[in-house]
């Protein structure tokens, strides 16, 4: 699925404040390398249903055999192994014997201590990778996991590493055995070791994804093969919310445009981001925050949520809104399946102008049948004229007031809302009284 940086930012997949990002929520990897690999995975949603299902099956397998997942490899182990190839110490003897090994220990004490410490972690790392191939590589292993483990098994299949298989701990090795293993790893196995580290990073990223699915009780979506777009979700919620309100949603070619209204703070933006985030997670092979989800593979997703002006270029907020819509139209007018998310279109101009511009854009987008659109707006007045189009549905988030107090239930209703609560919010927050007392 094609997705740009603007959409990733709009959905808070990666943000400067990591604690509030989807990535941070998903990051249950053990190692720093695993975390970085997970970030790469999220930055590149998968292009085919087959690739997505392969990752789903990999995560399912990890969850099923969680107690068997090798734990020998820690973040500290990875760091020491990497630094083993960066350290500058006196050359090891080309031919390691009892005499040369003990001489090296005697004459190069500090270097020997460093090497011995490094070999403990190298041994544990190799032992852990052997455990992965032993426990998880078989004819039923899901495709991407099988490919990685086959590469790991082939890389590990060298006579010099039999010593790791023959001993349980590195402490059981003699001094000559320690230096012999160090010499081989240092001078003959460097690239292979980094290949194994990269493989482990992906294994750890998948493990982190599996633990996220378990922790938040996410469900794996069902992908439907169809030439036309489809999205059905039951009790979907936003993964970043502590106490979310679930939503149901159904979109298909007969009704591919959702016109969303409601007052400020009613939940429109959260709903749009919930949909985008769930579809995004589905396309990276993750479970989604919902009770059930069915969808087609989308070729791309674009959002228009947090548009900003550009002072350096002298570009106004409205101008950038127009440019984003223009770029969106250029992208989606290609017959492929897109999910388009637009929140409060044309906020950067006056109401009359915004109504005219919004109507023109919506009526144009309604001609595109092979994509799904969700658009929120305060301009409820334009809704009546749009009801002549059979493929648009109207929903709103209701609000209520009692004794001047606002109440939001965040429930999605059928119809159009004409609620305007801006002044009431201004009054509730004491701003009106402050102004009166100036």
Residue 17 resides in a domain: no
Gap between the Cα atoms of 8 and 376, Å rounded: 19
Residue 18 resides in a domain: no
Pair 181, 276 in one domain: no
Residue 120 resides in a domain: yes
Residue 400 resides in a domain: yes
pLDDT one-digit tens code per residue, 378-426: 888 999 999 999 999 999 887 766 666 666 677 888 998 776 656 666 6
Domain that holds residue 370: 222-436
pLDDT of residue 132: 97
The tokens describing 157, both together, are: 């299949």
3-state SS string over the chain?
CEECHHHHHHCCCCCCCHHHCHHHHHCCCCCHHHHHHHHHHHHCCCCCHHHHHHHHHHHHHHHHCHHHCCCCCCHHHHHHHHHHCCCCCCCCCCCCCHHHHHHHHHHCHHHHHHHHHHHHHHHHHHHHHHHHHHHHCCCCCCHHHHHHHHHHHHHHCCHHHHHHHHCCCHHHCCHHHHHHHHHHHHHHCHHHHHHHHHHHHHHHHHHHHHHHHHHHCCECCEECCCCCCCEEEEEECCCCCCCCCCEEEEEECCECEEEEEECCCCCHHHHHHHHHHHHHHHHCCCCECCCEEEECCCCEEEEECCCCCECCCCECHHHHHHHHHHHHHHHHCCCCCEEEEEECCCCCCCHHHHHHHHHHHHHHHCCCCCCEEEEECCCHHHHHHHCCCCCEEEEEEEEEEECCEEEEEEEEEECCCCCCCHHHHHHHCCHHHHHHCC
Neighbour tally for 387: CB within 10 Å: 11
Given 216, 241, 271, the domain boundary residue is: 216
Residue 151 resides in a domain: yes
Given 216, 233, 251, the domain boundary residue is: 216
Pair 251, 210 in one domain: no
Residue 7 resides in a domain: no
Pair 342, 417 in one domain: yes
Neighbour tally for 343: CB within 10 Å: 22
Pair 82, 194 in one domain: yes
Pair 117, 249 in one domain: no
Pair 295, 335 in one domain: yes
* Alpha carbon separation from 331 to 10, 194, 392 (Å, rounded): 18, 39, 21
Q: Identify the segments of the chain with pLDDT beneath 50.
A: 309, 311-314
Which residues on adjacent β-strands are paired with residue 219? Answer: 288
Pair 197, 300 in one domain: no
Pair 181, 210 in one domain: yes
Pair 332, 372 in one domain: yes
Nearest residue to 307 (alpha-carbon basis) of 324, 326, 282: 324
pLDDT of residue 64: 96
Residue 21 resides in a domain: no
Residue 388 resides in a domain: yes
Nearest residue to 395 (alpha-carbon basis) of 274, 272, 295, 254: 272
Pair 354, 396 in one domain: yes
Gap between the Cα atoms of 210 and 413, Å rounded: 35
For the chain, how many structural domains are there in total? 2
pLDDT of residue 182: 94
Pair 209, 228 in one domain: no
pLDDT of residue 311: 40
Domain harbouring 243, CATH code: 3.40.50.300
The tokens describing 216, both together, are: 């938040």
pLDDT one-digit tens code per residue, 72-101: 899 999 999 999 999 988 888 888 899 998
Neighbour tally for 59: CB within 10 Å: 26
The answer to whether the Cα torsion of 429, 431, 436, 437 is positive or negative is positive
Given 216, 233, 267, the domain boundary residue is: 216
Pair 167, 269 in one domain: no
């Amino acid at each position: 699925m094609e997705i740009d940086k603007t959409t990733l930012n709009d959905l808070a997949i990666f943000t400067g404040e990591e604690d509030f990002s989807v990535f941070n929520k998903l990051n249950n990897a053990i190692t720093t390398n695993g975390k970085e690999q997970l970030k790469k995975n999220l930055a590149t949603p998968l292009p085919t249903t087959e690739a997505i299902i392969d990752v789903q099956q990999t995560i399912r397998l990890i969850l099923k055999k969680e107690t068997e997942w090798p734990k020998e490899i820690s973040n500290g182990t990875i760091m020491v192994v990497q630094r083993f190839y960066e350290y500058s110490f006196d050359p090891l003897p080309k031919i390691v014997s009892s005499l040369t090994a003990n001489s090296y220990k005697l004459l190069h004490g500090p270097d020997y201590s460093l090497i011995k410490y490094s070999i403990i972690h190298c041994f544990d790392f190799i032992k852990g990778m052997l455990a992965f191939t032993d426990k998880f590589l078989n004819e039923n292993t899901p495709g991407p996991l099988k490919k990685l483990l086959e590469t790991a098994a082939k890389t590990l299949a060298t006579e010099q590493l039999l010593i790791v298989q023959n001993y349980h701990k590195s402490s059981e090795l003699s001094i000559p055995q320690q230096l012999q293993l160090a010499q081989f790893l240092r001078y003959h196995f460097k690239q292979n070791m980094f290949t194994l580290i990269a493989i482990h990073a992906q294994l750890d990223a998948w493990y982190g994804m599996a633990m996220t699915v378990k922790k938040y009780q996410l469900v794996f979506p069902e992908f439907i093969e169809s030439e036309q777009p489809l999205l059905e979700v039951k009790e979907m919620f936003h993964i970043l919310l502590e106490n979310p309100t679930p939503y149901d949603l159904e979109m298909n070619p007969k009704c591919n445009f959702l016109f969303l209204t409601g007052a400020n703070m009613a939940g429109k933006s959260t709903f749009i981001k919930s949909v985008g985030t769930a579809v995004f997670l589905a396309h990276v092979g993750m479970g989604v925050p919902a009770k059930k989800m069915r969808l087609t593979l989308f070729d791309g997703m674009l959002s228009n949520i947090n548009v900003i002006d550009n002072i350096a270029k002298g570009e106004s907020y409205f101008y950038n809104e127009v440019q984003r819509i223009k770029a969106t139209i250029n992208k989606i007018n290609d017959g492929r399946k897109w999910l388009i998310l637009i929140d409060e279109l044309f906020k950067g101009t006056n109401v009359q102008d915004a109504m005219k511009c919004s109507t023109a854009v919506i009526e144009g987008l309604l001609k595109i049948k092979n994509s799904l659109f969700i658009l929120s707006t305060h301009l409820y007045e334009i809704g009546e004229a749009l009801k002549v189009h059979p493929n648009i549905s109207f929903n709103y988030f209701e609000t209520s007031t009692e004794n001047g107090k606002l109440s939001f239930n965040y429930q999605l209703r059928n119809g159009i809302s004409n609620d305007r609560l801006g002044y009431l919010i201004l009054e509730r927050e004491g701003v009106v009284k402050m102004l009166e007392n100036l």
